[in-house]
Chains A and B, each alone.
Chain A
Amino acid sequence: MKNLDSLFAAYMIGWGIFFVFYLTVARRTAALREEIERLKNSHNRGK
């Protein structure tokens, strides 16, 4: 079982990078949705 720790680390870090990217895209999308709502509300109030 030589180098099992390195193998484990490579897979964990690899999946971690993909997962973090997926989360950041989801967060950015949610923040943008909020901004769109805010813009629409402020535009409607200004009419």
Chain B
Amino acid sequence: MKNVLFVAVVVLLLGAGAYAALFIAPTDAKQGLIYRILFLHVASAWTGLTAFFISFIANVLYVWRRQPKWDWLGVSAAETGLVFTTVVLVTGPIWAHPVWGIWWTWDARLTSTFVLWLLYISYLLLRTLIEEPDRRALLSALFGIFAFVDVPLVFGSIRWWRTQHPQPIIMGEPGSGLDPLMYKVLFFMWFAMLALMALLLRQRYLLEAMRGDVETMRRQWEVA
């Protein structure tokens, strides 16, 4: 019952966010309607980076404490972050094509985001290659800590280098930014996306915890 309520709240938040993004936020004078992808694209990017940060903290805690729950959280947050980053990598080119005239360019922001995506795919693949649970958890936690190094690069790429990608809309240069109503809609959408991340992360964590239980049961029965 609690889960149904949680899903309902997330769906309502996302519905309200999409309505605000498509109908309440003012139309951009230069780009017209297409800029409204920003609310999905940027909110997904911020949420994906939040999930990778959770994964990073969980990986550090696993290396320190060696408790399975941190391994479960690490992989769950990594997979959830990967889903949000996939949305970023798909919606970006759909937005770029009408505005830039190209689907993709290898600039610092796009490349570092794509590398981030590949790093977390590698993290998940690594886990499928190691059968022994403790060894798998430790090696993937170490790899997850290494993968997170790319996150500050993604954040800084549009600040440190001249890129095709637009300049930052928060913490950018003077004069950069959005209309106040656009900010409100963007932050609401981010809140809705964080709620979605919490839902997906919770479901994924429960799955990983069940897998851990199955592995423990199998080991106990093998010994018996």
Contacts and interface: CB of A to CB of B under 8 A. Distances in A.
Given A11-B40, A32-B214, A36-B213, A18 B200 contact: yes
B207 A28 contact: yes
B221 interface: yes
Given A3-B98, A6-B97, A29-B207, A21 B83 contact: yes
B54 interface: no
Interface string A9-47: 111011101100110011011001101100100010000
A46 to B, nearest CB: 9
Contacts of A7: 22, 33-34, 36-37
B127 interface: no
B203 A25 contact: yes
A36 B40 contact: no
B217 interface: yes
Given A29-B206, A39-B214, A43-B221, A17 B86 contact: yes
Given A7-B33, A7-B34, A18-B87, A32 B210 contact: yes
B91 interface: yes
A17 B207 contact: no
Secondary structure of the B side of the interface? helix
Contacts of A33: 210
B184 interface: no
B165 interface: no
A33 B214 CA distance: 10
Contact of A17 (B41, B90, B206, B217): B90
B44 A14 contact: yes
Interface of A: 1-4, 6-7, 9-11, 13-15, 17-18, 21-22, 25-26, 28-29, 32-33, 35-36, 39, 43
27 contacts: A2-B33, A2-B34, A2-B98, A3-B34, A4-B33, A6-B34, A6-B37, A7-B22, A7-B36, A7-B37, A9-B94, A10-B41, A11-B40, A13-B91, A13-B94, A14-B87, A15-B14, A17-B86, A17-B87, A17-B90, A18-B83, A25-B200, A25-B204, A26-B203, A28-B207, A29-B203, A36-B213
Given A7-B22, A10-B95, A28-B207, 7 more contacts: A2-B33, A6-B97, A10-B40, A13-B87, A17-B90, A29-B210, A36-B214
